[in-house]
Structure 1
Amino acid sequence: MKFDDFYAGQIIEVPPRPYAVSEAQIVGFASTYDPQWFHTDPAAATGHRFGGLIASGWRTCAIAMRLLVDAALHDSESFASPGLSYVKWPNPVRPGDSLTVRAEVIEARRSRGQTLLGILRWRMFNAAGAEVLDLEATSLFQLSPS
């Protein structure tokens, strides 16, 4: 999608098929980037608070990013993000979950100069409808001089 295709209030649902999360993906990511036992040791995680292995919140964010790039940002003028307003993980992602993203365009506006701002709220859900990610990101878009 190009910047001009985004508008405040727009809802972007992705992907056409849910993204399946495997135990191997959860453990592999966590072993490298977030090696806490409840992300890497299925046996130890079984007897504790969540009753089993859960994905790192950062893995959840990475999945959402991949889905949004594939669905909306891959052919856009998006070039960076100055950051997030917030990120929340209301429910854990578990092996076998199937995930979908619902992104809402909160704002699409031109700032001074040619850099454009798009503010997106991303929400990710599992197949049971439980929200597993809620974040608000600002995306920067660069347009050719007009």
Structure 2
Amino acid sequence: MEQSTKALPGSFFFDDFHVSMVFDAAPVLITEIEIVEFAKKYDPQPFHIDSKAAANGHFGSIIASGFMTVAKAFTQFLELGLIKESSMGGWGIDELRWFKPVFPNDVLSTRIEVFDKKVSSKGFKRGTIRFKIIVKNQVNDKVLQFISNTIIRQRVDKKS
């Protein structure tokens, strides 16, 4: 059963998350300026940084680096504030897939699904939440999907 959560009460801890919970981040506009700025630093391929070369290329326009799209999606996830107090970092990304290119002026919407959870076997009052991150553009085409494996602290009773 999918449970969509729009209004969030604050940071969630391990026990607050349930498999199939869904969180939707606010849509974000992708601009050509940020595509080029990101790509110049981290992915300087002609179809990301040179509008003339990109116009004559496979996509007919500049496209965003896939890594920029991942970074944007993860930022949208973090800005929800779900794991602000409980995150202890992550140990990897699984099943990273880019399905379609992201163009200037695309509006991306990110959905976060609680895909799986597992309590630490070492008894450290934490566990791993596997968040499935799905990004779609303004015409509802899936452009990106990955699973973020995040270590989340369990809620600690302050009376203990």
Q: Same fold (TM over 0.5)?
A: yes
Q: Distance in 2 between matches of 1:133 and 1:101?
A: 9
Q: Which runs of 4+ in 1 moved over 6 A?
A: none
Q: Distance in 1 between matches of 2:17 and 2:156?
A: 19
**Bigger Rg over Cα:** 2
Is 1:60 matched up with 2:108?
no
One-letter code aligned to 1:128:
V
Displacement of 1:74 after TM fit?
4.9
Q: Distance in 2 between matches of 1:132 and 1:49?
A: 17
Q: Where does 1:1-146 land on structure 2 (aligned, <5 Å)?
A: 1-3=11-13, 4-15=15-26, 18-112=27-121, 113=123, 114-143=125-154
Secondary structure, counterpart of 1:129 in structure 2: coil
Q: Give the share of equivalent positions with the same residue, in percent.
A: 31
1:48-70 CA distance string (max 9 Å, x none): 11111000010001100110001
Provide the TM-score with structure 2 as the length reference: 0.84
Secondary structure, counterpart of 2:80 in structure 1: helix
RMSD: 1.5
Structure 1 unmatched ranges of 5 or more: none
Provide the TM-score with structure 1 as the length reference: 0.92
Displacement of 1:79 after TM fit?
1.8
1:66-99 CA distance string (max 9 Å, x none): 1000114353301211001121110011100011
1:87-131 CA distance string (max 9 Å, x none): 111001110001110111011332221221100110001101111
